[in-house]
């Protein structure tokens, strides 16, 4: 066993290291040396660096963000231990779970990146194609294989897609990034409905009563400043055709994506230009001839045969905990453990196990918390995945292990009840590190959490809040029940931080509904606006009613916004100077926007 520098952290390095990852690191060292000596220019090195998951940040200079690919969110204890050491030795003491199930950490010095990559490789982790115009991290439902509602366990399918596209020659210099998501049922916890290629497990019944499990593939969804809902490619895609179908979508994108204008280069703009019928025709025609290509992935992938894809099923006589947006949670005077178990545990899986969320505030994890989660995996002999709402979920637990898990999580501040519920606000990094952001979205997220806690609404189920620091929707504000995106405001002759509030975003049942604009607000009033909406929803909802259904019944976003109009007021700078200072800042608000590598 090898001990890393820093706190006592033991992990088992892979022997030997994956040769493909080792080759990537050698190439990075060579390119870095050429860049530092002036043999290659900035633009060439930037493209190479991004394709290897190393991203510049607002602070400039040699500060880098390192993004680690975590396909479908699955992690081992050794990987968690290693990350605990890395964030302390090379970053600012903590890492961050992204809404696409990556792990990233900031303020890594460029000269240290090769060492970081080597440490990651020692436990089988890579940053390859976590950024850049490539196939990004393959997402999958974090409850895959542990969900009582799933049709197919998509775990092995997501793994197969990851293996097929990483380092694949056809996926290296795309017109723009390409995102793939998997969900095991129509609940769509994997969020397939707003991605370039979204896969939802389904089934079809033949006349003789037999059932075939397969998939419905959706294409050309996307968020950003102009969100597009994904559209079905065909009614049913067989298991044998799934990977060839995804590759065919990628090939059509590579051939038709706009290489002259990055702002209109995503798959959604291909459909906007050519029409969905023509895009469907091209994809299906490409798939028909794909067996003649050198990259044809074959039929059912070997890893699916090895791991299996049988759904978890429902335990006999069990009433499964609902999965997704509409989790009802009662509020009352209970013990901390009871509150946590009521809010954070998913039950009813066919094999009798349970799953439990570990809360990560704003998706942030300290070195100590990484190590604590590694200890949970080893001590309780369980699995762990990261979720697209920036938490961990511990899987394959026995019912009698829940009190022990709660104690372990409480020790490191991860047992807060309400992970994935109202207090669990998703936020992009905002102007903390991003050049495009105009507001401190993370600061607002903390303020909303505090306001909901104070109002006794932090554990309300069925309502989710997402925040982006600009219009680009990295915080996925379009898809949340309550969404905010940052905007500069002018009041009394001064610049001030503000937000546009949206209401009614929803993903599920193979549909996506983007939030509608409600009203603009000073940043300092956004927490109060959230409390009012959540309070009204909690008081008026019918039994089991989803937020978007309540919103429709209440007259929609514009009607609900009427009760918030008094919040769209800026006091004078003399009366309330804090309105002109953003969250987590000390000086007067200034909207500073620079060139962002996510748009290059």
Give pLDDT tens digits for 282-305. Answer: 999 999 999 999 999 988 999 999
456 with 590, same domain? Answer: yes
pLDDT of residue 8: 43
Beta-strand runs (E) in 249-302:
none
pLDDT(155) > 90: yes
Contact 146, 356 (CB under 8 A): no
471 with 355, same domain? Answer: no
pLDDT of residue 264: 95
Burial 444-473 (b: 16+ CB within 10 A, else e): bbbbbbebbeebebbbbbbbbbbbbbbbbb
570 with 437, same domain? Answer: yes
Banded pLDDT at 324 (limits 50, 70, 90): very low
**Residue 488: exposed, middle, or buried by beta-carbon count in 10 A (0-12, 13-18, 19+)?**
middle
pLDDT of residue 330: 47
DSSP label of 420: T
pLDDT(259) > 80: yes
Q: Is 97 helix (H, G, I), strand (E, B) or coil?
A: strand
Torsion of CA 525, 526, 527, 531, to 10 degrees: 100
92 with 156, same domain? Answer: no
Burial 563-588 (b: 16+ CB within 10 A, else e): ebeebbebeebeeeeebbbbbeeeee
Over residues 584-598, the mean pLDDT reads 77
**H/E segment holding residue 118:** helix 113-121
Write the pLDDT tens digit of every residue in 167-219.
999 999 999 999 999 999 999 998 999 999 999 999 999 999 999 999 999 99
Report residue 256 as tokens.
């038709």
Summary mean pLDDT of the chain: 92
357 with 436, same domain? Answer: no
**H/E segment holding residue 244:** helix 242-256
For residue 66, the domain's CATH number is 3.90.480.20
Banded pLDDT at 136 (limits 50, 70, 90): very high
Beta-strand runs (E) in 90-243:
94-97, 103-109, 139-140, 180-183, 197-205, 211-219, 231-232
Residue 259 lies in a domain: yes
For residue 502, the domain's CATH number is 3.30.413.10
Write the pLDDT tens digit of every residue in 39-63.
999 999 999 999 999 998 877 789 9
pLDDT(316) > 80: no
Range of the domain at 459: 426-599
Q: For helices 19-36 and 42-51, what crossing angle results, to 10°?
A: 160
* Last residue within a domain, chosen from 307, 323, 357: 307
DSSP string, 323-389: -SS-------S--HHHHHHHHHEE--BTTS-EEEEE--GGGEEEHHHHHHHHHHHHHHT-EEEE-TT
Over residues 86-110, the mean pLDDT reads 96
407 with 430, same domain? Answer: no
pLDDT(591) > 90: no
Residue 390 lies in a domain: yes
Phi/psi region, residue 418 (left: phi>0; alpha: psi -120 to 50; beta: rest), is left
401 with 280, same domain? Answer: no
pLDDT(342) > 90: no
546 with 517, same domain? Answer: yes
Report residue 90 as tokens.
């090379």
Over residues 363-378, the mean pLDDT reads 98
Banded pLDDT at 315 (limits 50, 70, 90): confident
Residue 185 lies in a domain: yes
Residue written as token pair 């080759």: 23
The total domain count for the chain is 4
Report residue 338 as tokens.
């009871």
Q: Is 490 helix (H, G, I), strand (E, B) or coil?
A: strand
Bigger pLDDT: 591 vs 168? 168
23 with 109, same domain? Answer: yes
Mean pLDDT check: name the lowest of 4-13, 256-265, 272-281, 414-423. 4-13
């Amino acid at each position: 066993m090898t001990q890393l520098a820093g706190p006592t952290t033991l992990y088992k390095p892979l022997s030997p290291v994956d040769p493909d990852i080792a080759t990537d690191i050698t190439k990075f060292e060579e390119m870095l040396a050429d860049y530092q000596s002036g043999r290659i220019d900035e633009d060439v090195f930037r493209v190479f660096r991004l394709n290897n998951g190393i991203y510049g940040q607002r602070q400039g200079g040699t500060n880098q963000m390192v993004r680690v690919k975590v396909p479908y969110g699955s992690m081992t204890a050794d990987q968690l231990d290693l990350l605990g050491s890395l964030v302390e030795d090379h970053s600012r003491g903590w890492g961050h779970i992204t809404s696409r199930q990556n792990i990233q950490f900031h303020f890594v010095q460029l000269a240290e990146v090769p060492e970081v990559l080597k440490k990651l490789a020692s436990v089988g982790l890579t940053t390859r194609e976590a950024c850049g115009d490539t196939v990004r991290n393959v997402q999958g439902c974090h409850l895959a294989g542990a969900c009582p509602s799933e049709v197919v366990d998509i775990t092995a399918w997501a793994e197969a897609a990851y293996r097929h596209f990483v380092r694949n020659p056809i996926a290296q210099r795309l017109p723009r990034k390409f995102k793939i998501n998997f969900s095991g049922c129509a609940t769509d916890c994997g969020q397939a409905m707003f991605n370039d290629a979204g896969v939802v497990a389904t089934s079809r019944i033949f006349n003789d009563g037999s059932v075939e499990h397969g998939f419905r593939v959706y294409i050309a969804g996307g968020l950003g400043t102009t969100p597009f809902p994904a559209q079905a490619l065909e009614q049913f895609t067989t298991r044998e055709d799934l990977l060839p179908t995804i590759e065919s979508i990628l090939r059509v994108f590579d051939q038709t994506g706009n290489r002259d204008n990055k702002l209109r280069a995503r798959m959604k703009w291909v459909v906007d230009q050519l029409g969905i019928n023509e895009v469907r025709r091209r994809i299906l025609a490409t798939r028909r001839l794909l067996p003649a290509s050198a990259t044809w992935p074959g039929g059912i992938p070997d890893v699916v045969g090895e791991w299996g894809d049988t759904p978890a099923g429902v335990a006999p006589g069990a009433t499964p905990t609902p999965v997704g947006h509409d989790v009802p949670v009662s509020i009352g005077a209970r013990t901390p453990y009871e509150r946590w178990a009521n809010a954070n545990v998913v039950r009813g899986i066919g094999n009798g196990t349970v799953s439990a969320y570990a809360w990560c505030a704003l998706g942030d994890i300290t070195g100590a918390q990484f190590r604590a989660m590694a200890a949970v995996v080893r001590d309780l002999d369980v699995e762990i995945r990261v979720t697209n709402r920036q938490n961990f979920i511990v899987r394959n637990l026995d019912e009698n292990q829940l009190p022990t898990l709660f104690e372990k999580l409480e020790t490191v501040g991860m047992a807060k009840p309400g992970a994935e519920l109202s207090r669990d606000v998703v936020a992009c990094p905002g102007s903390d590190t991003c050049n495009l952001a105009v507001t401190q979205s993370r600061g607002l997220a903390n303020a909303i959490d505090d306001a909901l806690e104070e109002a006794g609404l932090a554990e309300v189920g069925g309502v989710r809040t997402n925040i982006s620091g600009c219009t680009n929707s990295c915080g996925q504000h379009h898809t949340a029940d309550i969404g905010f995106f940052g905007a500069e405001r002018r009041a009394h002759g001064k610049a001030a931080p503000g937000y546009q509030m949206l209401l009614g975003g929803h993903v599920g049942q193979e549909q996506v509904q983007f939030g509608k604009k409600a009203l603009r607000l000073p940043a300092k009033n956004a927490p109060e606006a959230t409390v009012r909406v959540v309070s009204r929803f909690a008081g008026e909802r019918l039994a089991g009613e989803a937020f978007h259904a309540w919103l429709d019944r209440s007259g929609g976003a514009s009607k609900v916004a009427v009760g918030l109009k008094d919040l769209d007021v800026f006091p004078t700078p003399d009366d309330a100077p804090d309105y002109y200072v953003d969250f987590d800042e000390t000086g007067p608000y200034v909207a500073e926007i620079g060139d962002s590598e996510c748009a290059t």
